[in-house]
C-alpha cells in the first residue's frame, strides 16, 4: 500500500464484500449478542483475555487477542463437562460475521434447553444452504469425501468434510481472502457443531451489507479486491443499530468507566482489555513468534485437507 496522507490513513470506509474487510483489530461486534451473559476478565497472565459464559456455564466464548484464533467458542452438556463442539474464528475473520454465529447461539440458549447441542444434519448442504441459495459454485472435490464451494468472485469459499471423524476434528471451514497470515480469514467448526449455527455464519458471510473500516486496516494485498466508499460520501443510515466502530468506541468508554471505579487488580484486567479493543497497526512483516506459529498451523492444515 503506498504512503498515504495522515488524514487518509484514518479515514473510515464502507467495505464490500464484507468478508474481505479483515477484523479491524477488535472483536466487540462478535460478543455483542452475548454481552448480557456473565463476563469474566481472567488474570493478566491468562491467554484468554475476555470470557463470556451462558448463565448455566455450558457455553463459553473466549477472546484471545494475541492468538492466531482470537475467538473460540465451545459448548458442553454441563458446565464442567468436555466440549461437545468448538468453533474458532481467526485473526482476519470480520467480527460482524462472527456475530451471525454468536447471535444464533444466544437465541438458542435457554435454561435446560439443548438446541445449541443439536446433532448436525446428515446432509452437508444444510450447513451451507445460504451459500448454495446465493449461487455459490460447487467445485470438483480435490479429495474423496469432501465438498468445496466458491463465491462468484472466487475470493471466498467453504470446505466440508463428509467423512466420519472424531469429535475434535474440524469438518467445516468458511474462508475468504488470499492465502497468508495477514490476509486469509477462516472460521472452523468441529464435527458436532450444529448445522444451523454454521448456516447462520454462512448467511452473515454472504450478507451484502458493507462493514466500516479505517483505511489503514485494509491490507495492501486485498485492497484491489474490495470496493471502498467513504463514510462521509452520504449520510450514515440511522437504523438504530450501531456501526462496528460505534460498538468499538462504546466498549472502550465502558471499559474506562469500569476501570476508574474498580479495585487495582481489576483495573489491570480492564487495561489489558482496552489494549485489545484498539486496532493494532499492521506490521510491515509478521513478528517472528506469530510467523512460526502460523507456519506450523498452515503445515498441519495442508496435511489435513486439500489446498483450496
**Which domain range does residue 35 map to?**
6-304
Task: Specify if 129 maps to a domain.
Answer: yes
Mean pLDDT over the full length of the chain: 80
Q: Per the domain annotation, does 74 fall within a domain?
A: yes
Confidence of residue 269 (pLDDT cuts 50, 70, 90): very low
* Residue pLDDT, tens place only, 96-148: 999 999 999 999 999 989 999 999 999 999 999 999 999 999 999 889 999 99
How many angstroms separate the CA atoms of 284 and 156, rounded? Answer: 25
**What's the domain count of the chain?**
1
Q: What percent of the chain has pLDDT over 70?
A: 72
Task: Give the rounded percent of residues in the chain with a pLDDT score beyond 90.
Answer: 62
pLDDT category of residue 298 using cuts at 50, 70 and 90: very low
Query: Does 44 map to a domain?
Result: yes
pLDDT at residue 270 is higher than 50: no
Does residue 43 fall inside a structural domain? yes
Supply the pLDDT for residue 238. Answer: 44
1 within a domain of the structure (yes/no): no
Whether 134 maps to a domain, the answer reads yes
What's the pLDDT score for residue 135? 97
Report the pLDDT averaged over residues 276-303.
Answer: 38
The answer to whether position 238 is within a domain reads yes
Inter-CA distances, 41 with 45, 49, 57, 75, 98, Å? 11, 6, 15, 19, 21
Residue 83 placed within a domain? yes
Q: Residue 3: its pLDDT value, please?
A: 56
Weakest-pLDDT range from 27-36, 81-90, 293-302 = 293-302
pLDDT tens-digit map of 11-41: 999 999 999 999 987 788 999 999 999 999 8
Mean pLDDT score, 232-251: 51
Amino acid at each position: 500500500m503506498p504512503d498515504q496522507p495522515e488524514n487518509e490513513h484514518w479515514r473510515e470506509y464502507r467495505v464490500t464484500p464484507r468478508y474481505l474487510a479483515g477484523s479491524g483489530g477488535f472483536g466487540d461486534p462478535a460478543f455483542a449478542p452475548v454481552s448480557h451473559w456473565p463476563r469474566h476478565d481472567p488474570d493478566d497472565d491468562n491467554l484468554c483475555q475476555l470470557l463470556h459464559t451462558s448463565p448455566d456455564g455450558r457455553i463459553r466464548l473466549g477472546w484471545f487477542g494475541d492468538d492466531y484464533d482470537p475467538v473460540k467458542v465451545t459448548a458442553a452438556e454441563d458446565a464442567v463437562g468436555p466440549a461437545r463442539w468448538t468453533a474458532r474464528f481467526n485473526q482476519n475473520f470480520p467480527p460482524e460475521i462472527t456475530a451471525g454465529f454468536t447471535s444464533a447461539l444466544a437465541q438458542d440458549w435457554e435454561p435446560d434447553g439443548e438446541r445449541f447441542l443439536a446433532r448436525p444434519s446428515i446432509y452437508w448442504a444444510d450447513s451451507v444452504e445460504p451459500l448454495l441459495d446465493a449461487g455459490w459454485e460447487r467445485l470438483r472435490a480435490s479429495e474423496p469425501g469432501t465438498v468445496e464451494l466458491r463465491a462468484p468472485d472466487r475470493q471466498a469459499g467453504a470446505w466440508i468434510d463428509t467423512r466420519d471423524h472424531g469429535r475434535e476434528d474440524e469438518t467445516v471451514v468458511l474462508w475468504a481472502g488470499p492465502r497468508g497470515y495477514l490476509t486469509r480469514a477462516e472460521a472452523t467448526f468441529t464435527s458436532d457443531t450444529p448445522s444451523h449455527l454454521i448456516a447462520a455464519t454462512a448467511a452473515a458471510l454472504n450478507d451484502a451489507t458493507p462493514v466500516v473500516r479505517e483505511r489503514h486496516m485494509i491490507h495492501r494485498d486485498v485492497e484491489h479486491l474490495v470496493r471502498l466508499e467513504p463514510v462521509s460520501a452520504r449520510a450514515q443510515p440511522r437504523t438504530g443499530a450501531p456501526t462496528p466502530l460505534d460498538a468499538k468506541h462504546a466498549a472502550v468508554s465502558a471499559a474506562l468507566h469500569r476501570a476508574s471505579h474498580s479495585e487495582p487488580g481489576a483495573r489491570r484486567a480492564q487495561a489489558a482489555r482496552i489494549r485489545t479493543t484498539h486496532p493494532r497497526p499492521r506490521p510491515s512483516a509478521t513478528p517472528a513468534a506469530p510467523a512460526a506459529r502460523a507456519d506450523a498451523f498452515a503445515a498441519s492444515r495442508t496435511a489435513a485437507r486439500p489446498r483450496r
